[in-house]
Amino acid sequence: MKEGPDIALIGSLIGDPARANMLTALMGGQALTPTELAGEAGITLQTASSHLAKLEAGGLVTQRKQGRHRYYALSEDEVGLMLESLMGFAASRGLTRHRPGPKDPALRKARVCYNHLAGDFGVRMLDSLIAAREIEVAGADDLALTDAGRARVEALGIDYDALKKSRRPVCRTCLDWSERRSHLAGSLGEALLKLFIDKGWAKREKDSRAVRFTAIGEKAFLELFPR
């Protein structure tokens, strides 16, 4: 009633279980249709449509028409970061929406966080890049790619200039809910995950945020980012 940002609005958007499930599904990074999201949330298409309209009005998701499909996705990196931070808190309270199953270890090992790699592997990658002085911690918030780091990612086949052109930050941190430490987000984080998948080192699990590394891919990854 007095001052400061209105967190109630955002909280209430996330606070509905159906919407929370949809948002969590969108954390997988792929744009999904209302029908798919309705399935994720266990509700009918009509209800999902109404929820999506609210999420869009709140600025959490955006929509892209393509033929007779509509693809919904998180509207910005920001949204993913905020959700991950909420998940971190929920996890620290032991609030999970599932009984820990066989998929859980896979999720903790490597998963998609909106558009970049998270979990043990994600954290290890950032730690390793920092240890090798390929990424520098520039300030309290900022990460910067060093010259060595730039040479390294270009050797891997990533077009650094293209990354830099976009308005989005190239490197940024994202707090990992399972590891409780940061991993690498930003356009570089996105490009790296894409690289691993393009190289055939890793594949996304269907219907899950888990990322499954092949034996060869895992070996290459661990060599590339030693502890």
Partner DNA sequence: TTCATAGTTCGATCGTAATCGAAGCATCGT
Partner DNA sequence: ACGATGCTTCGATTACGATCGAACTATGAA
Site residues (vs DNA, CB under 7 A): 12, 16-18, 33-35, 43-54, 63, 67-70
Footprint of a copy of itself on residues 9-38 (CB under 8 A)?
Answer: 9-17, 19-21, 23-24, 27
Which residues are bridge partners to 208 per DSSP? none
Told to check if 41 binds a copy of itself by CB under 8 A, we report yes
Question: Cα 23 from chain centroid?
Answer: 11
In the bound state with DNA, the residue whose beta carbon lies nearer, of 35 and 85, is 35
Told to check if 139 binds a copy of itself by CB under 8 A, we report yes
In the bound state with a copy of itself, the residue whose beta carbon lies nearer, of 15 and 200, is 15
In the bound state with a copy of itself, the residue whose beta carbon lies nearer, of 67 and 102, is 102
- The least distance separating a copy of itself from the CB of residue 127, rounded to whole angstroms, comes to 7
Q: Alpha carbon of 111 to those of 5, 64, 91, 210: distances in Å?
A: 32, 25, 16, 4
What's the one-letter identity of residue 150? R
Rounded CA gap, 127 and 129, in Å? 6
Which residues are bridge partners to 27 per DSSP? none
Question: Cα 3 from chain centroid?
Answer: 32
Closest of 23, 3, 208 to residue 105, by C-alpha: 208
The binder of a copy of itself chosen from 44, 66, 67, 98 (CB under 8 A): 98
Q: Residue 24: enclosing H or E segment and its boundaries?
A: helix 17-26
Task: Provide the binding-site residues for a copy of itself, judged by CB under 8 A.
Answer: 1-17, 19-21, 23-24, 27, 40-42, 58-59, 78-79, 82-83, 85-93, 95-98, 101, 103-104, 107, 126-127, 130, 137-141, 143, 173, 175, 177, 181-182, 207-209
